[in-house]
Chain A
Amino acid sequence: GERLASRPGPHSTGETPTPYKSIASYNNFYEFGTDKTDPFEHAQRLRIQPWTLRVEGLVQRPRTFGIEELLRLAPLEERIYRLRCVEGWSMVIPWIGYSLEHLLKTVEPLGNARYVEFISATQSDTMPELRRRVLDWPYTEGLRLDEARHPLSLLVFGLYGEVLPKQNGAPLRLAVPWKYGFKSAKSLVAIRLVEKEPLTSWVKAGPGEYGFYSNVNPTVDHPRWSQARERRIGEFFKRETLMFNGYGDQVASLYNGMDLKKYF
């Protein structure tokens, strides 16, 4: 893909990044199919130009940004993050982007804004699975406002020095590295600040299996499988899954006094 210049950013892991080929061919992007290889095969049709992002809801200055404008909003950084999927596999991905906070502060959230809702694109002519209601479309995710403003929460435009491949959520997506991968919504078209906890697509699909928080937590199993270990893509042996995916030093304080078994 097209090159995307960036400078090294903070919070990068020293672990070896997963090969580009694996990152770009093993994806969950249900709008294009539920098989891991479907997004690579079908997402190439996604139209990403022109692309706009609405930032709306409880903000002082709601507005719509063009993708070019977003790319210039703050300096692009390379951040090498771990990604842990709720299915039990993980990767290390050199993302390019900047902290979501840069965007949020330009729209000035109001005092009663407590949550942020993220809405992904729905293109019925390029996304074959929208007709099958595997999930409730549009794909919707959410974070608490303090989570969204945490410096680790990244608005992503590229990986491996290039613009995002379509199957990875072009032209912009989230990367919230201490939560299961599905929290990091792809191909965003709207960000909405709200007062109440948003009902996300996965919570709607299975409230007993997928919680709003979905922090990576080896001590809280998915009802149908264990979350204690993970297979890092490219490795033979499984590894122990780390609390908050290894980002506990930075984020554990967000959840002081919360029962993480209840708010899973």
Chain B
Amino acid sequence: MKNPSPAAISAIKVFLFLLCLLPLAHLAWGAWQDALGANPIEFVTRSLGTWTLKFLLITLTVTPLRRLSGWHWLLRLRRMLGLYAFFYGSLHLSSYLWWDQFFDWSAIAKDILKRPFITVGMSAFLLMTPLALTSNAWAIRRLGGRRWQALHRSIYVIAILGVLHYAWLIKKDLFLPLIYFVLLALLLGIRAWWRNQERRGQQAGKYLTPRRGRIIPLVVRR
């Protein structure tokens, strides 16, 4: 698993692509079978929202997992996972615009301004859009690796806003949003800790070989 062949990676990508479509297929099947409960519209909207959060967290897991396992090829799956987060986020937003507001733009504008949880959710989506648009080799070349990386670090903010959006709409029981929050805190915390370790190493004047996890082969070989 350390160095899978290009053919193996392609196969993994195809498998992952299909796997990521399963939540959507599950919802479509449930709608077809009328198995989504008494309020299917709410069920679908919520489910698309929580899958957006799950994909954001999965995307954020790639770097730590790669660093801990030494499986650098994992990085080549990250773009797809991030794009799936955007895909589910777009569907979630569409379900709100259509089934909740029926494209009543003045009501939507009022909602965005007045309701913090909508404001936060909408900001998260807007911040996600440039990341999705620059998820290609051409954009990386145009922006340059450093700037591209800086831009894509906004996923940290997006994920925080996403969990906040979730917690804020719940009537009372914060147990589930809390789980997302803890996982996110772990994923961000481990990055902060590594960064801190490196900084201390540099301050101590030690010569450091760049850590495995810090080298980011941005343009992926085809």
Contacts and interface: CB of A to CB of B under 8 A. Distances in A.
Nearest to B173: A34
Contacts of A237: 102
B172 A206 contact: yes
Given A22-B38, A231-B41, A134 B115 contact: no
A21 B38 contact: yes
B115 A224 contact: yes
B116 A231 contact: no
A247 interface: no
Contacts, number: 48
Contact of A89 (B42, B102, B114, B173): B42
Interface in A216-264: 221, 224-226, 231, 233-234, 236-238
Contacts of B99: 236
A34 B38 CA distance: 16
A226 B108 CA distance: 11
Contacts of B171: 34, 86-87
B198 interface: no
Contact of B173 (A37, A87, A134, A238): A134
Interface of B is mostly: helix
A104 interface: no
Interface string B106-123: 000001001111000000
Interface residues of A, number: 26
B172 A205 contact: yes
Interface string B20-64: 000000000000000001110110000000000000000000000
A72 B102 CA distance: 49
Contacts of B37: 25-26, 36-37
A233 B38 contact: yes
A135 interface: yes
Interface in A34-67: 34, 36-37
Contacts of A36: 37-39
Given A224-B117, A225-B115, A135 B41 contact: no
Interface of A is mostly: loop
B169 interface: yes
A221 B100 CA distance: 16
B71 interface: no
A21 B39 CA distance: 12
Interface in B95-109: 99-100, 102
A201 to B, nearest CB: 10
A134 B116 contact: no
Interface string B74-103: 000000000000000000000000011010
Contacts of A238: 100, 102
B125 interface: no
A89 B39 contact: yes
B116 A224 contact: yes
Given A30-B172, A224-B117, A236-B41, 18 more contacts: A25-B37, A25-B38, A26-B38, A30-B173, A36-B39, A37-B37, A89-B42, A132-B175, A135-B172, A206-B172, A224-B115, A224-B116, A224-B168, A224-B169, A225-B169, A226-B111, A233-B38, A236-B99
26 contacts: A21-B38, A26-B37, A26-B38, A26-B39, A34-B171, A34-B173, A34-B175, A36-B38, A37-B37, A89-B39, A132-B175, A134-B172, A205-B172, A221-B114, A224-B115, A224-B116, A224-B169, A226-B111, A226-B115, A231-B39, A231-B41, A231-B42, A233-B38, A233-B39, A234-B38, A238-B100
The list of the 8 closest CB pairs from A to B, nearest first, reads A26-B38, A22-B38, A34-B173, A134-B173, A233-B38, A25-B38, A134-B172, A233-B39
Interface of A: 21-22, 25-26, 30, 34, 36-37, 86-87, 89, 132, 134-135, 205-206, 221, 224-226, 231, 233-234, 236-238
